[in-house]
Chain A
């Protein structure tokens, strides 16, 4: 921690993002140099510090939570591994064989455990490891000393290798086998080592057998690991006997008979959607996975002929472990709230204050089961918040980021905390420390960019644009300012409950960037529109990626950045199917669900410097659109706003018949004059030209679109992330606000829309 940096000293998270009156929600808090703090619940109205914005607006809420709390530090333990709880099975171990196929992704990054029981703390146990140089090594400890032998030949990064170690207690012989298996003639020669450790027998302590990490301690009743392995492990096997090489080879076949001395033979191709690993030995020494390493990963025997793990799970018997995986921080509870029945639906936060340090942990209160629904509902895009959770482009973009965004990065206290706490885990935009893409993101950890009052480090000049949650709060502020009753629900609610959650609402309002959709969420919206629902898509680049919520584990989503689209990392071929559900991953538009058909527009461009404005199109003069432009005489719409100075900015969607936009949709207005740092997404570029940027490319625009649906409903789409940032301009007296309100008030009426 350097002096001179703004410092954030409280960080926390909630057990849930969405609650009903009567529900319990817990807040887990960690403090650094904070002896005590005050806690209260506030209703969030606006988090906009922009000089032209609504300001930061919150309202205190009476609850019975304790007002004063002792500050304490709670550690984050990143890094995934497997643990086998049957400790006795691996004690006492004398002779042994440990073998696996591995695909190391960071050999040489410190000592990394492949499998075994902890050694260093009390000098007991045995383990197959990669040593500091990235070479295979075996360690045994008898309680007095640890003996290590290594092949002294570093394994190559991202190349499969067979690795094994044996120990024969009777003659004190340790043997190592390191054999690259590579079909591209890049392989190193096999490497074997043998050493005598006369009179030494491994002793075992309290630590269980673990895969991809070693046990460091039991902190607070919790198993803490270190020496994490980065890379894939496939078919790990432990045998209580010294096997010869031929016997080891026969064990590589998944259907082979197991030796009588088998301890366990884990088959990672089984139970892929779960956090369990299955032992195929008769002893059923199954294990648990901690921190969600990546599953449905190509194994050493992947042929390249089958791309779906469900069709050949035996070729997907690898798990990719990372030293920075984090699923559930598992912190102890500090503050609990039973949501009072008096709280109306809205956006709330636990506000934790210690002097000038304030932490907000937001959550949504949705209507109670028996409460009457408001006419309008804000569908808070929490799946997208999770996708962007702790996104680090501003911190890790290097020199490229200035050229990419056309302005300097501006770090805030949350960014600096994130830089100092990489163990808080990654967003779906991040790479793991070994360079592989991050395909899981959870909400059970502090999410520093899910906060009111903050801006992105790299979006908007000097990082002054709000993004996701705080950008969407501007919609809440506007609804309050305009006196329009509303409820708030979340993506997770919609995923779990489907269409019935939307049934009864006259209008559904999206956030500024509802980019990530599960199938259940997507189908719920389609069903809603089919039954006469009205959708106001108030953002850009929405409904773009397919994600999967875990069917069992709470609060975690998966994304495979497959095929195409804007991809900060790229899923490997053969790894396009979600491990959680088996569903194909990637872009919804490639799966028979074109965004254009759903909302009339689809992703056209992105740029992150300045926003622009819309100019009215002939569609705005159509009598069908007269209600939308009631009281609006201007030709130019939205040449103002707190996000880049205009209503058309950051990410833009346009009308395109060829991609499924309804023929009868009206293009009401189109944006123009975007900067030369706006470019189409890769899925719009089939062949690069020198005319792609916003100065020259007419397809770089947001289209304001309206259309009626057969069920008597309608869709209004802005096709721009920055639209919501213009609503409050001039105390909400502006044409963006007027158009939005005209649409919403008509959508709230029961009178059916008719398709022309």
Chain B
């Protein structure tokens, strides 16, 4: 029996029990994980499979999820709590699955070779440094969704992620970490990754803290995306408009004209690009902020009465998860004509911040933010010394209104079940402090 037939069987079984709203979801995937430390290596081969049902009527509902293939004879729990409403099927624009979805998973020898090459490249960049731990995960998955409202969706995905922990040669030096994601392992460049780690190690080992300073700030994609991610709730849900109202000026602007913020579940080349979201709704590009002006929030179909506003942003990372609205590929639109190097050359006095040393803190009500940052002091377009143990602070409003220029190097970071991306940003109106 095929998975589709099994899903249909479960759907029919629940309909016969009298449930008007039924949705059956199935996901299976394979992944190879290699984790290396100074003391050993672990290679895991996972084959995961599970399914989930949401069923209910206007007064009560239940959720049942189980490992293995779908079964119509699973004992269902007693329905309770809130009623359930599911979305209807909507036409899906044409979609061509990326060819890389079919590429085989990385082999054990190849994975080991990749990580060893990375360790060698790091040692060349910073002699005496060590890769404390590396965690490489390469996986593919296929999910199917069938509902009593004629939704029938299939999504295939392929994601490779890499987490690196490294430490420099200095005594008692703080370790640094790096997380990256691509569709395939072969798209990771060991030399580029080693170079990024080397920059972070240099700053953490030799950087000094700045007590207090102002100037222009060049925020590398990791820093800018980290701030966007920490603020991502700002744009999610029907309350987004009232949240943002406090940040909008008299001219109706939320940010500078250089700020255009987009969420796109089918972003061409996006690692998580898919034709449907986690509830089978067709994904699309949604412009949240256009040239500094707020356009619309990120809302799931059930959070708005207007189909035009529905953003198809229900994320469902696995069969254990309920769909929840949130960013898919949330990104700040890059300027294809602007190189990072030209922004740096024109930076008279300021800082080039290349990494976050921890999670940014956001004040309740989105008043102020503080982010622990690492980077370089810049004068006349040249670095004058590394900076660490320092916080970038300011108001959330100043962050968005102070964006002067946006470079072309759009880079995504993994955030929960979604991706948040940003190019390098030139920002004014913020401050460096030793304490948040």
Task: Answer yes or no: are A and B bound together in one complex.
Answer: no
